[in-house]
Structure 1
């Protein structure tokens, strides 16, 4: 609708963190079923939480399995940058983007716990500010490596046996405070150019990383005024880093049990419409208490009324997660000036 800001909706489908080990081990068929429910509702993307201490399968692997079973919805696993190799992280996220044909993102996370540090034995637990600085470097080097292949670097010439044009591969030569990476990547440039970067910016330590690197920032707030203040803060910081703040989507993360939510799903739909319409947020990221129970109700009793009001899409208009979010596909920074994205 002309003159109306686009509303963005997303949902978390990972097992609740309070789930016992047995119930947390959801099988692939159940995850695919939830993803298809979210896709039928037209949601921008789904997230799948994860941590080193969480029982169950690796979220990135789970969504890689889900990718061929879905067509349109964005797939955003949580990927922890602490105790990991950034080169391997970016390659895995790029592979998810290829598997999903341009629907991948990753929610950057850190691991501050001593127990998780002991699992690896590489270093002791570090302060949150230090870990988020490292996470920012991981996000930066990921984008450099995704750009290290120009879009037309692949030749695939059977006659000559040439797979790639070496002149279109680039060493990133990244030197950070925590690690160094030479590159180039071992994975061709992803379909989206850069898969979508999501950061939970609720905690102050994460906000600098979100403002500098995120395409989507998640915030928690108890009032539209608080959410609006967080959104304005993130926009100011993004501008200070030379970014266009209008290309940073800020979504309210809300944990809800639709059986006991005050006012029920109708009240939630009203909250989303009011906070979005007033400019406090760009949309909602719902964390349902029980995804198998709450997601169908969210689709029918929240998304449906928002669609009836003309506030949310009736069908996907693009094919990539960047399309859903209204974000352009970035050109490789190594491509010749003026080259098409």
Structure 2
């Protein structure tokens, strides 16, 4: 934890209340690139660390196969949304959800690497697993009964990370005099062989600007804390009171996450749009009360917070225009972005060394 408070927002649909569409007067659908670009621009105006774009393998945020007619249904691909938003923003980090259970890590790796290129080093990835049988049936490739989904996810992340390193940073030489575009010795086979994947590599996409885009996960219990500790850079947790904040931080550290960044998720409404089904703490109060809550929880050892606006159109501007200025006056939040800063740098993560690069003797 640092004295500087980190703040991000999670974006999904018209907001985190499943019927947020009823309170939104936005004329554009959630399949519109302009809709997401405006939300990201608002978050960037508030100098937030990053935005996450939620996603899943079901048309609604629920575990059942049936469609609830009152809820927003249908969603665009989060990685593609982030890539659409990237050129319209300059500073804010962009972290889409990508599910690994039915998706090849090779494809996720190059998609996130591409996002890092188009955003100039502002990309991340929120890893998600899918244990629902009806989602497996969408693909029809295998029965996931008995599969340790987080063990598989660890392998998927390891494959992606190795693929990001499979090109050295200076592999592209573009030497017109000799006619050599690439230094072949600086491309590497990853030769990963595990229970779930066998991937030779190298990637078809050069090493991303950050080397390793920021890998995150949402976790509610010990097995997922253990996955996050061994495979990610940052974990989102869902405490509901002061006691659970302390307890979960201790669990994450005991699970091996001594260096893991820990952010608490909070569902936020400033207009009484409460969702009692939320897995995260539901905050229904004033901006000043939220600031008091954030600074108190930060004192327990949290690195930051990811706020989930109940209704994007109404709650996100309050976060940006009221909550952030209060944090700035308290001296715990930035007053400007640092030009050219990569997302890893902003979050205080170490420089990502390339595991395959040869270290020249000094």
Q: Normalising to structure 1: TM-score of the pair?
A: 0.91
- Distance in 1 (CA, whole Å) between partners of 2:156 and 2:122 is 20
Structure 2 residue corresponding to 1:235, chosen from 240, 249, 253:
253
Tell which deviates more after alignment, 152-161 or 108-117: 152-161
How far off its partner does 1:4 sit? 5.3
Distance change in 2, residues 1:328/1:338 (3 Å): farther
Q: Which residue pairs with 1:84 in the alignment?
A: 103
How far off its partner does 1:330 sit? 1.0
Q: Which residue pairs with 1:319 in the alignment?
A: 341
Assess if the C-alpha contact under 8 Å between 2:82 and 2:96 holds in 1.
Answer: yes
Q: Which residue pairs with 2:57 in the alignment?
A: 52
Structure 2 residue corresponding to 1:192, chosen from 210, 213, 217:
210
Report SS of the residue matched to 1:297: helix
After superposition, what is the alpha-carbon deviation per residue over 1:95-151, rounded to whole angstroms, capped at 9, x for unaligned? 000010000000000111111111100012435x71111111111111111111111
Report SS of the residue matched to 1:199: strand
- Distance in 2 (CA, whole Å) between partners of 1:87 and 1:126 is 24
Assess if the C-alpha contact under 8 Å between 1:316 and 1:324 holds in 2.
Answer: no
Tell which deviates more after alignment, 20-29 or 94-103: 20-29
Structure 2 residue corresponding to 1:106, chosen from 109, 117, 125:
125
1:41 aligns to 2:60 (yes or no): no
After superposition, what is the alpha-carbon deviation per residue over 1:27-83, rounded to whole angstroms, capped at 9, x for unaligned? 111211110111111111100000111322101001101001000000000000011
- Distance in 1 (CA, whole Å) between partners of 2:135 and 2:81 is 21
Structure-to-structure mapping, 1:197-236, within 5 angstroms: 197-236=215-254
Q: Which residue pairs with 2:357 in the alignment?
A: 335
Q: Which residue pairs with 1:256 in the alignment?
A: 268
1:177 aligns to 2:195 (yes or no): yes
After superposition, what is the alpha-carbon deviation per residue over 1:209-234, rounded to whole angstroms, capped at 9, x for unaligned? 10111111000001233122222222
How far off its partner does 1:23 sit? 8.0
Assess if the C-alpha contact under 8 Å between 2:222 and 2:255 holds in 1.
Answer: no
Quick check: which one's helix share is greater? 1
Q: Which residue pairs with 1:148 in the alignment?
A: 166
Q: Which residue pairs with 2:288 in the alignment?
A: 266
Assess if the C-alpha contact under 8 Å between 1:49 and 1:59 holds in 2.
Answer: yes
- Distance in 2 (CA, whole Å) between partners of 1:224 and 1:186 is 47
Assess if the C-alpha contact under 8 Å between 1:258 and 1:264 holds in 2.
Answer: yes
Report SS of the residue matched to 2:271: coil
Q: Which residue pairs with 2:327 in the alignment?
A: 306
- Distance in 1 (CA, whole Å) between partners of 2:361 and 2:48 is 32
- Distance in 2 (CA, whole Å) between partners of 1:74 and 1:264 is 26
Report SS of the residue matched to 1:185: coil
Q: Which residue pairs with 1:7 in the alignment?
A: 5
Assess if the C-alpha contact under 8 Å between 1:24 and 1:56 holds in 2.
Answer: no
After superposition, what is the alpha-carbon deviation per residue over 1:147-177, rounded to whole angstroms, capped at 9, x for unaligned? 1111111112233332211111111111111
Instruction: In structure 1, list runs of 5 or more residues that go unmatched.
Output: 240-244
| Aligned length, in residue pairs | 330
How far off its partner does 1:298 sit? 0.7
- Distance in 1 (CA, whole Å) between partners of 2:229 and 2:261 is 10
How far off its partner does 1:207 sit? 1.6
Report SS of the residue matched to 1:191: coil
How far off its partner does 1:327 sit? 1.1
Tell which deviates more after alignment, 218-227 or 96-105: 218-227
Report SS of the residue matched to 2:333: coil
Report SS of the residue matched to 2:94: strand
